[in-house]
Amino acid sequence: MTVFQKSTEVPIIHTVDRGEFDHFLADKAVKNGCCIKLGEEVIDFESSNNSVTVKTEKHKYNAKILIGADGIRGLVHRRIIGKAPILKILGYELEKKCRPEEDQGNNEAYRS
């Protein structure tokens, strides 16, 4: 089995713990005026030039943007590509436990 390995002086890729990162992003979003609704599955959305209407099984919401963070086979992605096949999915993962104050790099994502 051939394994590709390359060492560099500076990191060429950064990954995060999804649970911690998702919580971090949600916290920042709420602090900046977003309203996060849990327990409501998105069943449809309609977009216009200046807004998007998101429909759940419980309500309709209007917003300026829709972030399609529902995965490669999620509703948003499926609506964008239609029935076109997904030809290739690449993924890389590396787990590194650290706190922002322990990070030796210069990662702007952790800055307030």
Torsion of CA 40, 46, 52, 53, to 10 degrees: -40
Q: Is the pTM of this model over 0.75?
A: no
pLDDT greater than 60 at residue 98: no
pLDDT in tens, 54-89: 999 999 999 888 888 787 788 888 887 788 887 776
- Check: CB of residue 82 under 8 Å from CB of residue 75: no
pLDDT in tens, 33-50: 888 888 888 999 998 888
